[in-house]
């Protein structure tokens, strides 16, 4: 469901004034579509209202979610912004969320707008000493996130047990692929199951699920803010770190993989073990998203309809993910190779 700019302004204005009746909103201005991802539509806008001292304005972002998983993604985002902000972790402030009765007909979140200079842009524009400083800050944010008390982020009264994380994940992934009628990845699941007995999870962490320099924004004073929390979960921290390493390695920054891994270990004061196992999981998840989206539609995976076209434009990075999977496991997946040939 899509709307014109006028409709977005009208619906957002009604939503905001209903939630904050004491604020007399005068207008919404500077509406701009700034979305560039697969999962959602993102708009920047300015809310202006009157109070005793005169006009006051607030820069906000409106995020609209797609597909069967849209409500879950919006719920994760709202939960993350609420709890992380309360604990001092740098995220946009949540203003409103609508999971069920949304004025837009699909889940929506309204949040503080952050100055839009991404960390990857700063990395490319900086000399080596400043790049090292930025990478250290990037890793420290992830270390700090993984060190937080995870219990407020678990809505289920039965707390997960670290020793059961992998077994639970494997069981859920098998069930999901069975429901989707995709046997393509059975060899990878078998490989993971065989190796999982040697992988020990000693602690749980809050994880972002898609942490990379494109999701870290730098404000004018240089402070960093982390965005895009639809993948929020409580699990082994290596799920998070491995996805970060995979994205850097396959999205044009292969040299950063070992640098980030070393920095993370130094800042966390620990040796990161068996990270390759979790990189295989990262490859599997990425290839599942792409395979299902191309065969059954992107909305099935909680993405916007045009995500399929965006994926087809990223044949190189997708092929790189498959190469990493092969390097780590020695497996060949003919169906994925056939899929990749159609993207070339």
Q: What token pair was written down for 121?
A: 């842009």
pLDDT at 240 over 90: yes
φ, ψ of residue 111 to 5 degrees: the values are: -140, 165
Percentage of the residues of the chain whose pLDDT score is greater than 90: 57
Structure tokens at 203: 């602690």
Distance CA 275, CA 201 (A): 12
**Residue 182: its H or E element:** none
> What is the pLDDT at residue 83?
96
Does the pLDDT at position 300 exceed 70? Answer: no
DSSP assignment letter at 48: E
pLDDT in the model for residue 331: 97
Q: Quick one: average pLDDT of 226-254?
A: 94
Q: Where does the pLDDT of residue 314 fall: very low under 50, low under 70, confident under 90, or very high at 90 and above?
A: confident
Number of helices (H), then strands (E), belonging to the chain: the values are 12, 9
pLDDT at 175: 93
pLDDT at residue 180 tops 90: no
User: DSSP labels for 197-250?
Assistant: TT------EEE-SS-SGGGEEE-TTS-EEE---TT-EEE-HHHHHHHHHHHHHH
Q: Which residues have CB under 8 Å from 260's CB, separation 6+?
A: 135, 138, 139, 244, 245, 248
Is residue 36 scored above 60 in pLDDT? no
**Does the pLDDT at position 89 exceed 80?**
yes
Q: What is the pLDDT of residue 188?
A: 97
Bridge partners (DSSP) listed for residue 222: none
Q: What domains are defined for the chain? A: 5-112 (3.30.200.20), 119-343 (3.90.1200.10)
Per DSSP, 331 falls in state -
pLDDT of the residue at 157:
55
Reading the block at residue 124, the tokens are 């490319």
Lowest mean pLDDT among 26-35, 64-73, 223-232: 26-35
Say how far apart CA 325 and CA 332 lie, in whole Å. 9
Mean pLDDT score, 117-138: 93
| Average confidence score pLDDT of the chain | 88
CA dist., res. 42 & res. 65, Å (int): 9
Average pLDDT over residues 9-20: 87
Check residues 114 and 25 and name the one with the higher pLDDT: 114
pLDDT number for residue 16:
86
User: What is residue 295's three-state secondary structure?
Assistant: helix
Cα–Cα distance, 321 to 250 (Å, whole number): 6
Give percent above pLDDT 70 in the chain: 90
Residue 235 corresponds to which tokens in the numbers above?
A: 């699990």
Is pLDDT of 156 > 60? yes
Is 4 strand, coil or helix?
coil
Instruction: In whole angstroms, give the CA distance from residue 134 to residue 122.
Output: 8
Alpha helices in the chain (DSSP H): 5-19, 70-86, 119-125, 128-147, 165-179, 186-196, 237-250, 256-268, 275-296, 307-312, 315-329, 334-343
| Residue 38: pLDDT over 90 | no
Give the residue among 284, 297, 288, 298 at the shortest CA–CA distance from 326.
Answer: 284
Stretch 4-21: mean pLDDT? 86
> Of the candidates 249, 247, 236, 248, which has an alpha carbon nearest to the alpha carbon of residue 278?
236
């Amino acid at each position: 469901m899509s709307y014109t700019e006028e409709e977005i302004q009208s619906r957002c204005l009604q939503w905001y004034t209903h939630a904050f009746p004491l604020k007399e909103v005068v207008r919404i201005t500077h509406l701009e579509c700034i979305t560039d991802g697969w999962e959602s539509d993102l708009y920047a806008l300015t809310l202006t209202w009157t109070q005793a001292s005169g006009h006051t304005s607030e820069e906000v972002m409106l995020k609209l979610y797609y597909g069967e998983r849209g409500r879950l993604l919006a719920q994760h985002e709202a939960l993350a912004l609420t709890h992380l902000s309360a604990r001092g972790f740098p995220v946009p402030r949540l203003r409103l969320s609508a999971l069920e009765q949304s004025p837009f007909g699909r889940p929506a979140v309204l949040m503080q707008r952050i100055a839009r200079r991404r960390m990857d842009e700063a990395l490319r524009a900086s000399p080596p000493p400043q790049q090292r400083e930025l990478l250290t800050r990037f890793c420290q944010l992830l270390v700090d996130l993984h060190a937080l008390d995870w219990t407020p982020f678990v809505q289920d009264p039965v707390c997960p047990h670290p020793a059961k994380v992998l077994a639970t994940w494997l069981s859920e992934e098998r069930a999901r692929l069975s429901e989707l009628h995709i046997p393509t990845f059975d060899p990878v699941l078998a490989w993971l199951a065989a190796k999982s007995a040697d992988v020990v999870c000693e602690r749980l962490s809050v994880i972002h699920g898609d942490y990379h320099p494109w999701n870290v924004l730098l404000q004018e004073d240089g402070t960093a803010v982390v965005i895009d929390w639809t993948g929020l979960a409580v699990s082994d921290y290596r799920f998070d770190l491995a996805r970060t390493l995979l994205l850097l390695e396959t999205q044009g920054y292969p040299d950063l993989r070992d640098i980030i891994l070393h920095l993370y270990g130094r800042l966390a004061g620990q040796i990161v073990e068996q990270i390759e196992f979790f990189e295989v999981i990262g490859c599997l998840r990425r290839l599942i998203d792409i395979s299902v989206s191309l065969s059954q539609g992107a909305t099935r995976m909680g993405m916007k309809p045009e995500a399929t076209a965006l994926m087809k434009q990223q044949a190189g990075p997708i092929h790189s993910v498959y190469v990493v999977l092969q390097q780590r496991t020695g497996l060949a997946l003919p169906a994925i190779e056939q899929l990749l040939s159609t993207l070339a």
